[in-house]
Amino acid sequence: MPSQIEVKNLSKSFGKHQVLKDVSLEIPSRKIFGIIGPSGCGKTTLLKTMIGFWTADSGKILYETRDLKKNSKFIRQIVGFATQENCVYPKLTVRENLEYFGTLSNVPRKTLYSNIDKVIRFVHLEDSSNELAENLSGGMQRRLDIACSLIHNPRILILDEPTEDLDPILRKEVLSLIKMINQDDTTVVMTSHLLHEAEQLCDTIAILHNGRVLKCGTPEELRNSYSKEDEIHLITLKRQYAQLVKSIKSRNVRKIEKSGNSLIIMTNDSQETLQRILKAIKRHKDKIVQIDVRKPSLSEVFVNLVKKSGEAPRGH
């Protein structure tokens, strides 16, 4: 089965400044696909070109095998889009905003009002349906913005930095909403500069840097591309690590480094190394305060890929 969205060799410039360079992506159906990278790497330009807001200089964008240029009306029916800046009208109520965007999307009147009721319940705005948008909290405004992009029951939802400028509690609410939308069989494509957020949420991730895709894969595939080793993060009561390090070293341990109060041990055999750590701590009459085994983070993968690319980040 072909990918639901295919981006083929997409390039986009503004004047002499090339923002996207030969970008290719294959986005599967009913998954959460993340596009990550720092501010200014071309994420917003990519999304706006994908929805036809901007015209590409070269390349193709296919939705369910249909070319965006030749099937824009069909694609508007199956795609919802929410920008990182709220697009709702502050002087309209929640319900009035949904009615307006439903009309723009040509939702038939006989189904529009049932859609409005369904979407309001879905984003948990039942108690605020008659409130002016300007009186909503930041998190509620973001939920309303997403609701407006869902009013025509799209099969694909595209979100540009959906948690931008939200505090941790509101960010958690929006991420939970995105999961619910995906569980309703909607494909979600989202951008984020918060790598840990994408790592937790997305099924597949494309790393964008200076307008190029450096790597694309599942979080596990991306981590394994950087290193198949495990990292053991250790904090002991005494935190006297010099002697401990000598006892831990073995052919399975590639590197040991201190980071703050933690000792980080990189190993290709975490079980054998953990046994060494436990014996060493007992021998040194120390105690474990915290210990956990993890794979390298997506942030480490990103930094490594950027270094390999040889290109310093630049703003767009």
- For 25-38, the pLDDT digits (tens) are 999 999 999 999 88
pLDDT in tens, 55-75: 999 999 999 999 999 999 999
- Looking at residue 316, its pLDDT comes to 43
Which of 98-102, 170-174, 230-234, 299-303 holds the top average pLDDT?
98-102
Mean pLDDT of 168-193: 94
Nearest of 251, 278, 254, 276 to residue 264 by alpha carbon: 254
Structurally, at CATH architecture level, domain 5-224 sits in 3-Layer(aba) Sandwich (3.40)
Least confident of 5-9, 178-182, 281-285, 293-297: 293-297
Confidence check: pLDDT of 306 > 70: yes
Mean pLDDT of 105-114: 93
In whole angstroms, what is the distance from residue 247 CA to residue 263 CA?
A: 13
Q: Structural domain boundaries of the chain?
A: 5-224, 228-294
Confidence check: pLDDT of 91 > 60: yes
- Looking at residue 31, its pLDDT comes to 97
User: pLDDT confidence of 312, banded at 50, 70, 90?
Assistant: low
- Looking at residue 193, its pLDDT comes to 87
Is the full-model pTM beyond 0.85? no
Cβ atoms of 309 and 214 closer than 8 Å: yes
- % the chain with pLDDT above 90: 70
Determine the CATH number of domain 228-294: 3.30.70.980
Mean pLDDT of 43-64: 96
Nearest of 72, 103, 73, 100 to residue 87 by alpha carbon: 100
- Looking at residue 115, its pLDDT comes to 96
